Chains A and B, each alone.
Chain A
Amino acid sequence: EAGVAQSPRYKIIEKRQSVAFWCNPISGHATLYWYQQILGQGPKLLIQFQNNGVVDDSQLPKDRFSAERLKGVDSTLKIQPAKLEDSAVYLCASSLTDNAYEQYFGPGTRLTVT
Chain B
Amino acid sequence: KQEVTQIPAALSVPEGENLVLNCSFTDSAIYNLQWFRQDPGKGLTSLLLIQSSQREQTSGRLNASLDKSSGRSTLYIAASQPGDSATYLCAPSGNTPLVFGKGTRLSVIA
Give chain B's interface residue range (CB within 8 Å of chain A). Answer: 20 to 34
The reply to whether B43 and A45 form a contact with Cβ atoms under 8 Å apart is no
- Are B102 and A42 neighbours in the complex by a CB distance under 8 Å? yes
Q: Nearest B residue to A3 by beta-carbon distance?
A: B43
Task: Mark A residues whose CB is within 8 Å of B.
Answer: 33, 40-45, 48, 56, 91, 93, 99-100, 102-108, 110
Contact, CB under 8 Å: B4 / A100:
no
Let me know if B93 and A99 touch, CB within 8 A: yes
What's the minimum C-beta distance from B70 to chain A, rounded to whole angstroms?
21
Residue in contact with B97 in the complex, picked from A41, A91, A99, A110, CB distance below 8 Å: A99
Q: For residue A91, which residues in chain B have a CB less than 8 angstroms away from its CB?
A: 43-44
Given contacts A105-B43, A107-B43, A108-B42, whether A45 and B32 have CB atoms under 8 Å apart is no
Whole-angstrom CA separation of A45 from B89 in the bound complex? 15
- How distant is A74 from chain B, measured CB to nearest CB, in Å? 18
List CB contacts (< 8 Å) of B14-71 with chain A: 31-32, 34, 36, 41-46, 49
Given contacts A102-B46, A103-B46, 8 further A-B contacts (CB under 8 A): A41-B102, A45-B96, A91-B43, A99-B94, A100-B32, A102-B49, A106-B43, A110-B41
Q: List 29 A-B pairs, Cβ < 8 Å.
A: A33-B98, A41-B102, A42-B89, A42-B91, A42-B103, A43-B44, A43-B89, A44-B100, A45-B96, A91-B44, A93-B44, A93-B98, A99-B31, A99-B95, A99-B97, A99-B98, A100-B31, A100-B32, A102-B32, A102-B46, A103-B46, A103-B93, A105-B36, A105-B43, A105-B45, A106-B43, A107-B42, A108-B42, A108-B43
B residues near A (Cβ < 8 Å) are 4, 31-32, 34, 36, 41-46, 49, 89, 91, 93-103
Chain B residue nearest in CB terms to A41: B102
A42 and B100 contacting across the interface, CB-CB below 8 Å: yes
